[in-house]
Amino acid sequence: MLISCVPSRITRDDSAPMPWGHKLDFVLALKVDDETRELKKTYFMRTLLWLGHSEITGNPKARDFQFGILNQDHRNDRQIGGPVFDHREAKRLLDQNGREKARARVAEAAGCLAAEARADIITMSTYDAALPDKALEKYWMIVSCLRCQNYRLEDTWTGKNGKCHWLFRREA
């Protein structure tokens, strides 16, 4: 049985600095054995501001915002699998309301990470090419949250590979 556990909000206190950037994780769902009620897996969203991992700028100090679903298997030495970027994974784990809450938390996480990292440049790219407008809505939610942290959207474009890209600069 899957139990939805998307939090109602997240804050900067939920983020953690890492040697390669900043991360913020939040639980999406729990998989519990129907008979024993034993916890089998935890599915969580990992959001990252990677230092130097931007595909779209040569600036080594740029941070790239990424997010994906990971799972932690509690029966196998708590091994972590993923990340999964496929939108079908969220549909498998969460109902419509849960997915809407998760999208909002991803956008909030982008704002929290930006506030912590205070990077001069942030980039973001879609994992999949040629996404429909509906699928791009979450990216525009992220844009809005980054704007609230004083990041100006400097450029957005679709590359030859069909992926969408965004470039932000922190305003003084």
Residue 140 phi, psi (nearest 5): -70, -25
Q: What is the pLDDT of residues 97-135, one digit of tens each?
A: 999 999 999 999 999 999 999 999 999 999 999 998 988
From the centroid of its chain, how far is CA 145?
Answer: 13
- Short-list 109, 120, 111, 129, CA closest to 170: 120
- pLDDT at position 85 is 86
pLDDT at position 74: 86
- 77 alpha-carbon distance from chain centroid: 25
State what percent of residues in the chain have pLDDT above 70: 99
User: How is residue 130 annotated by DSSP?
Assistant: S
Q: Cα-flanking dihedrals φ and ψ of residue 136, to 5°?
A: -80, -10
Q: pTM value?
A: 0.92
> Per-residue confidence at 56, pLDDT binned at 50, 70, 90?
confident
